[in-house]
């Protein structure tokens, strides 16, 4: 299943939180947030490692 299709299937508000720059998944969570254009979304990146 393609990522864009999975994002299109979302049907409610989205909350994305990562650990900031030290988090290796930060670029992926930021890209996901940027790709969501049909729902309310919040992206939290506190800059603290978890």
* Residue 27 within a domain: yes
* Residue 49 within a domain: no
Q: Which domain holds residue 8?
A: 3-44
In tens, the pLDDT along 1-50 reads 567 778 889 999 999 988 887 888 888 889 999 999 999 999 998 865 55
* Residue 14 within a domain: yes
pLDDT of the residue at 18? 87
In degrees, rounded to 5, the angle at the alpha carbon of residue 46 between the alpha carbons of residues 32 and 22 is: 75
* Residue 9 within a domain: yes
* Residue 50 within a domain: no
Domain count of the fold of the chain: 1
Q: What is the number of other CB atoms lying within 10 angstroms of the CB of residue 23?
A: 18
* Residue 28 within a domain: yes
């Amino acid at each position: 299943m393609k990522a864009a299709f999975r994002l299109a299937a979302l049907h409610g508000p989205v909350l994305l939180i990562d650990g900031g720059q030290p988090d290796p998944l930060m670029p992926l969570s930021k890209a996901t947030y940027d790709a969501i254009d049909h729902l309310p979304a919040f992206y939290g990146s506190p800059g603290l490692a978890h």
